[in-house]
Structure 1
Amino acid sequence: MNAPHQAQPIEMRIARLAERRASHVVSLPLPPTPDLEPPEWVELVPAGTFSGRDGRGPFILDIDAVLAAFVKGGIDLPIDYDHQTLDADAKAGPVPAAGWIKELQARDGALWGRVEWTPRAAELIANKEYRYLSPVFRHDKRGRVLALEGAGLTHYPNLYLQPVAHTKGDTMDITLLAEALGAAPDADLDALVAHAKTLKEAASRQPNPAEWVPMSQHKAVAEELARLQAEIAAEKAEAAVRAAMSAGKLAPAMKEWALEYAKRDPAGFAAFVEKAPVIVSADAPVAAHSVAPNADALSDEERYVCAALGISESDFAAHKRAVVKE
């Protein structure tokens, strides 16, 4: 939009107030269908230093000064149609409002406003009869924006501001992108780029699926390994016990005990067998390794006790006979 016309030249107001009023246009978010309401929050002035498409500027947004001026003013700021409020004195009829700016807020250095739209303006925006918003602000001779005076619905954008909504074929609404990325809803483009880089770095640190196996498969492999290890341990224990019995160091009645010992502690069982005395003849039949047929004969277990305690078998047999007689 071109600079608004007024009955009284704007330069005269500059001389009186040592300030100037400037009208610039920002993109207004539009719903894709007439059934949707216009946006409640709109961007009014960009952050930092900016200029208009018509060459005016550069301007510098003093966000603290603008917010303070709004609070001090204590009234809602009008949004009209085509800046009719600026030359209202030259009009004979009413100058209707399209909406009212109820609240201002700083978002990443830019100025945003919460708007309460009139039903007529909401319908015009939904039908795309108006698509852009042109704010009116006061600035000093250095271009420092000091206060917002209102805004107007218009057709020609002037400022280079991010669109805050879109229809099919328009520039993408970055609020939708922020939502998709899990960023703050008021994040600007630079913040979204930084957030996307952070997500990319985090993803690059994730393990490569090709280098890992599913947990279920890992569990199955671990269970199979444990089973094989148990089988190997049992086979080794069986072989160790068999060797000890062949060497005459274990009686047949001690086999189950020896197997459990050999599986639980192979090294300990080996040390035990190495120190154990020979108590059974390796050539004797298995039947002879059982209970003695009379009091003078000793069983394998009794021979083992004699050997372990250093008692002669004859003394043990004599003691056994005495016990039997009693």
Structure 2
Amino acid sequence: MPRTSLAIALAACSFQLPTSDATTVSIQLTPTGDFKPWDGRELKPGRWHIDQAVASAVIARFAARKNPRVLDYEHQTLLKEKNGQPAPAGGWITGLEWREGQGLFGTVELTARARKAINDGEYKFVSPVFSYDQATGDVLDVRMAALTNEPGIDGMEPLALQAAATALFSDDEEPPMNKLLLAVCTALALSATATTEDQAIAALDAHFKADPLADIRKTLGVDAKADATAICTAITARGTAEVDPAKFVPVSVVESLKTDLAALTAKVQGADVDALVSAGLADGRLLKAQEEWARGLGKKDLAALSAYLDTAAPIAALTRTQTDGKQPVVDTANGLTADELAVCSATAVDPKDFAAAKAA
């Protein structure tokens, strides 16, 4: 997304030049923290700002460019198109360095003329030109610097530099985008970088000219120019139209079928539960005390009951009685049951004679 608050500024602070016979010198370009113009010009963010984190981005952006930045005389590079005078270089900024507690420094290769002018006292200060974010005041990029004796130039406000349209500023920095254009592109899902203002205006005009009711009219089968009243009438007519009995089943029939199906399902499942529980009780896979539990499980989950009975081991002792179905002997002396003793009593037959007759 293009940066929307870019501005170019001449620094209003001055940094004294070091005198040296060396060709390469280190020159301070900014202080650390917040700093303001000395000449009272009004800044949108209220102040400029640079710290180690901001400086790291500035240094990285500077290092990404192949060509060094110019150090000229009295910002003539910015004024040459206006006054027609040449803008010779006094040196070249080849690198940047952050010094904690001091600020941003530039490594500068001075020309012989500039080195002599500095050592002779003809120039005392350096004034940097940098871009900055109008919202935060953060320094973004060092553009150039100038040898000067008055670093703050009267009347030179941000975004009013004559050289802003020259090749000097035609780098890979994306131009500011109109905030309204950006909002339109976002709302209409247009490319923010590939859409021109004319294209955005045309798209916005088409958007508001489009008929939002066209699809509704088509669906309802009404005239393409039908107004809101006609559309509402068509919708109401659809809602009260007579239902074709050949295509639709009454809701009452559906509900009745659902009830019958539920009853039939319960009946079939109940029969299956009875069969499983009876079989389990008969062969000893279920205890009598488990019958109620087994029936409840079968009603909820017939498959679970079936799986339980498939794995349960039958208890043989539960499948027969101790007398194998015969009545127990009551008269142990003669081997007669209770029923046989009752017969003897009723017929006045001696139990011994009954037992002997029974044996014969």
Short-chain TM bin: 0.3 to 0.5
Q: TM-score, normalised by structure 1?
A: 0.40
Larger gyration radius, structure 1 or structure 2: 2
Q: TM-score, normalised by structure 2?
A: 0.36
